[in-house]
Amino acid sequence: MKITMIGTGYVGLVTGACLAEVGNNVVGLDVDARKIAILQEGGVPIHEPGLPEMIARNVKAGRLRFTTDLDAAVAHGLLQFIAVGTPPDEDGSADMRHVLAAAQSIGERMNDYKVIVDKSTVPVGTADHVRETIAAALAQRDARVPFAVVSNPEFLKEGAAVDDFMKPDRVVIGADDERAIALLRAVYAPFQRNHQRLLVMDVRSAELTKYAANAMLATRISFMNEMANLADELGADVEHVRQGIGSDPRIGYQFLYPGAGYGGSCFPKDVKALQFTASRHGRPLQILAAVEAVNEAQKLRLVEKITARFGGSLKGAVFAVWGLAFKANTDDMREAPSQSIIGALIAEGATVVAYDPVAMTEARRVLGEQSALTYARSPMEAARGADALVVVTEWKEFRSPDFAELKRALRQPLIFDGRNLFDPAQVRGAGFEYFGIGRR
Ligand SMILES: NC(=O)c1ccc[n+]([C@@H]2O[C@H](COP(=O)([O-])OP(=O)(O)OC[C@H]3O[C@@H](n4cnc5c(N)ncnc54)[C@H](O)[C@@H]3O)[C@@H](O)[C@H]2O)c1
């Protein structure tokens, strides 16, 4: 099938590459000429495991190419996926400018039947706006071309995006047009040969499903962060509590890890956008208000522990920060807790030496060059001469460091573990003073 992917960010690139992988002919379009140039030269502008190989394979096979040429891109695909960003607007609502610009571009150019697929996370009712935008653009040039708009929210996780797309838990299709539904069934058939995972529903339910999913996951994280903070007060160990409740199949183990708060490009903005929609409809979501407030406070929980341990002042102290990305296996720095933590440490008069296996370039772009923040080439280099180690991202390579070497590198053997990566008994046995999140 001929497919156009509008937007070649985390979602568009992965979706485009995976659709090409199963034999479709995919054109990826972006307004960011720099990104397209990188892709055309064989590079990949983001870090996503397995993606460079998949892109290279499909480009070579002639099933995947990248362009900034709108005319060619719109002419190409029977299916036009919109996978552009929907960042938060100033009032917390989702900024639909890019989605509607993409719809406008399609409406101005399409000459035959197209299915427009909203892959971006968009507020309930957006498919109607997309439909209206395209209809208005067609009317403007007196064109009568049939089309359908479908909601197909994406559930992939950065860091495991290729796997998630190739083996989805479910594929949600929101549509009321039988021809469009049949086309999407065909597109997704190769990804569910084992058993049927396609859920077809009305458009609004599909749009809400995506927000409800992210809101539920964010809720689990904030819930566990509150339990961890309480465990700190009560002398309990949240790791035991996590296992104790996770073993209940009604609860399950996933997304029960307390830490430095959730970040990334999705949860913070989606929780805000859902709140905005709910309030506008007179149904503010009390649970989500708490989820957000708990998360904001949690980002600074580690800094509170550090400040208390340093007797109230961090002036002149040096901290090694391991991990900058908002989670492991990505270079995404959007809303990363590291930003809040490093900002607070520096505001308290400390200096920071940071290390991340893949997000250093992105961190430099986001955090900028500051005299109080330098970057190290390895975890141990960051630790050398620091007053304490602060673990912020759960990268695998941080999990089992040479504790003897770490102890020699640090000025004092002190660890603040914002992801509960280490076993407190083991670390204390190695001579460290250890602070986790809700750990005994
Ligand atoms: N990143 C994730 O893990 C994830 C997961 C599920 C859903 N989503 C949703 O998917 C959408 C995209 O997210 P992302 O992380 O891929 O964003 P991103 O910022 O990485 O990529 C968006 C891309 O769209 C391009 N773009 C913007 N306007 C355009 C236009 N008019 N024409 C062509 N290209 C245009 C941008 O230049 C950018 O390259 C968002 O709505 C997001 O909420 C993201």
Nearest ligand 1 atom, CA 35: 39
Q: Which of 122, 418, 119, 113 is nearest to 263 (CA)?
A: 418
Q: Report how far residue 68's alpha carbon sits from residue 55's, in angstroms, rounded to the nearest whole number.
A: 17
Q: Kindly state the tokens that stand for 359.
A: 């997000």
Taking a C-beta distance cutoff of 8 angstroms, is the pair 336, 367 a contact?
no
- Ligand 1 binding site (Cβ under 6 Å of any ligand atom): 6-12, 29-32, 35, 83-86, 98, 101-102, 120-121, 154, 156, 158, 265-266
424, 313 in Cβ contact below 8 A?
no
Candidates 14, 30, 117, 326: which one to mutate for ligand 1, based on the most atoms within 8 Å of Cβ? 30
CA distances from 213 to 122, 158, 207, 286 (A): 13, 16, 11, 17
What is the token pair recorded at 181?
Answer: 């539904």
Handedness of CA 255, 259, 161, 84 (dihedral sign): positive
pLDDT tens, position by position, for the chain (440 residues)? 999 999 999 999 999 999 999 999 999 999 999 999 999 999 999 999 999 999 999 999 999 999 999 999 999 999 999 999 999 998 889 999 999 999 999 999 999 999 999 999 999 999 999 999 999 999 999 999 999 999 999 999 999 999 999 999 999 999 999 999 999 999 999 998 888 899 999 999 999 999 999 999 999 999 999 999 999 999 999 999 999 999 999 999 999 999 999 999 999 999 999 999 999 999 999 999 999 999 999 999 999 999 999 999 999 999 999 999 999 999 999 999 999 999 999 999 999 999 999 999 999 999 988 999 999 999 999 999 999 999 999 999 999 999 999 999 999 999 999 999 999 999 999 999 999 999 99
Cβ pair 20, 57 in contact under 8 A:
no
Q: How far, in Å, CA of 180 to CA of 245, rounded?
A: 43
Q: Measured in Å, how far apart are the chain's first and last C-alpha atoms?
A: 56
Among 20, 266, 321, 324, the active-site one is: 266
CA of residue 292 to ligand 1 center, whole Å: 23
* 431 Cα: distance to centroid of ligand 1 (angstroms): 46
Residue 428 confidence (pLDDT)? 98
Q: Whose CA is nearest to atom 37 of ligand 1?
A: 32
The pLDDT value recorded for residue 195 is 83
* Contact assessment for residue 214 and residue 135, using Cβ atoms and an 8 Å cutoff: no
Residue 112 contacts by C-beta under 8 Å, 6 or more apart in sequence?
145
CA-nearest residue for atom 25, ligand 1, is 7
Q: How far is the CA of 204 from the centre of ligand 1 (A)?
A: 20
Residue with the smallest CA separation from ligand 1 atom 12 is 85
Residue with tokens 């099933």: 63
Q: Which helix (H) or strand (E) holds 147?
A: strand 147-151
Tell how far the Cα of 120 is from the centroid of ligand 1, in angstroms.
7
Place of tokens 């439909």: 131
Kindly report the number of other CB atoms within 10 A of residue 293's CB atom. 11
- What is the DSSP annotation of 317-368? -EEEEE--SSSTT----TT-HHHHHHHHHHHTT-EEEEE-SS-HHHHHHHH-
**Tokens 């076993």 sit at which residue?**
423
Read off the pLDDT of residues 325-351 as tens digits, 9 standing for 90 and up. 999 999 999 999 999 999 999 999 999
Evaluate whether 437 touches 415 at the Cβ level (below 8 Å): no
DSSP type of residue 200: E
- Quote the CA–CA distance of 343 and 370 in Å, as a whole number: 11
pLDDT at 193: 80
Q: Which atom of ligand 1 is nearest to the CA of 98?
A: 28
Q: Does the active-site annotation cover 266?
A: yes
**Who's near 331: CB < 8 A, 6+ residues apart?**
46, 47, 325, 358, 359, 361, 362
Q: Which residues contact 296 (CB under 8 A, 6 or more apart)?
A: 261
Q: How many CA atoms lie within 13 A of 8 on its CB side?
A: 30
Which residue type does 148 have? A
pLDDT digits (tens, 9 = 90+) for 19-44: 999 999 999 999 999 999 999 999 99
pLDDT at 384: 98
The C-alpha atoms of residue 352 and residue 343 are separated, in whole angstroms, by 10
Which of 397, 393, 245 shows the shortest CA–CA distance to 332?
A: 393
Residue found by looking up tokens 């749009």 in the block? 207
Q: Is there a contact between 339 and 267 (Cβ–Cβ < 8 Å)?
A: no
Integer angstrom CA distances of residue 288 from 117, 246, 247: 28, 22, 25
- Ligand 1 centre and the CA of 155: distance in Å? 13
d(CA 214, CA 273): 11
Atom of ligand 1 nearest to the CA of 99: 31
If you count them, how many residues does the chain have? 440
The whole-model pTM stands at 0.95
pLDDT of residue 132: 98
Closest CA relative to residue 402, chosen from 430, 437, 434: 430
Distance 258 CA to ligand 1 centre (A): 28
Ligand 1 atom closest to the CA of 122, numbered from 1: 41
